[in-house]
Amino acid sequence: MALHKPYLDIPGTTIFDAERARQGYHLNSFCMALMKADNRARFKAGERAYLDEWPMSEEQKQAVLARDYNRMIALGGNIYFLAKIFSSDGLSFQYAAATMTGMSQQAYAQMMLDGGRSPEGNRYIGEKR
């Protein structure tokens, strides 16, 4: 019997469950390696070559090269692991969060100052706002 996954209908949200973790194991392991300064230096010196040392899918590598965080998450990346990439780029969590929403960092920061994104209309896929 299939597992019950009641979280699949939350809009704009990917829950990092066993299936995602299996799909993203090597992508997330690559991210983890960026915790070490030597690996960060090698990655920055040649991103493609460094990525090719990891048994990741071509799609995953392209998503990393493009810094497409939504795509990385769709391919099994977890945000706490992906944080190692934007930290290595010298960018903040708020910057990364903004890029995933399609907003400018300034507009996103203002939304947070105004109380954040409302849950109204954001609980279920297809829900009327």
Partner 1 sequence: MARITAGVATSHIPAIGAAIDQGRTREPYWAPVFAGYEFSRRWIAAQQPDVVFLVYNDHASAFSLDLVPTFAIGCAERFAPADEGWGPRPVPEVQGHAELAGHIAQSLIQSDFDLTVVNRMDVDHGLTVPLSLMFGQPPAWPCRVIPFAVNVVLYPPPSGMRCFRLGHALRQAIGSFDADLKVQVWGTGGMSHQLQGPRAGLINKAFDQQFLDRLIEEPEGLAQLPHVDYMREAGSEGIELVMWLIMRGALAPRVRTVHRFYHVPASNTAVGHLILENPP
Would you tell me which residues interact with partner 1 (CB under 8 A)? 6-7, 10-18, 21, 25, 28-29, 31-32, 34-35, 40, 69-70, 73, 78-81, 83-84, 87-88, 92-94, 96-98, 100-102, 108, 111-113, 115-119, 122-124
Which residue, 46 or 121, is less far from partner 1 as judged by CB? Answer: 121
Q: How far is the CB of 9 from partner 1 (least distance, A)?
A: 9
The residue assigned the tokens 């990655």 is 43
- The enclosing H or E element of 23 equals helix 18-23
Residues 96 and 67: beta-carbon distance below 8 Å: no
Q: How far is the CB of 46 from partner 1 (least distance, A)?
A: 20
Q: Which residues, other chains included, contact 27 with Cβ-Cβ below 8 Å and sequence gap of 6+?
A: 54, 56, 60, 64, 72, 75, 76, 77, 81
Q: How far is the CB of 49 from partner 1 (least distance, A)?
A: 21
Residues 11 and 125: beta-carbon distance below 8 Å: yes
Q: How far is the CB of 3 from partner 1 (least distance, A)?
A: 10
Which residue, 48 or 123, is less far from partner 1 as judged by CB? Answer: 123
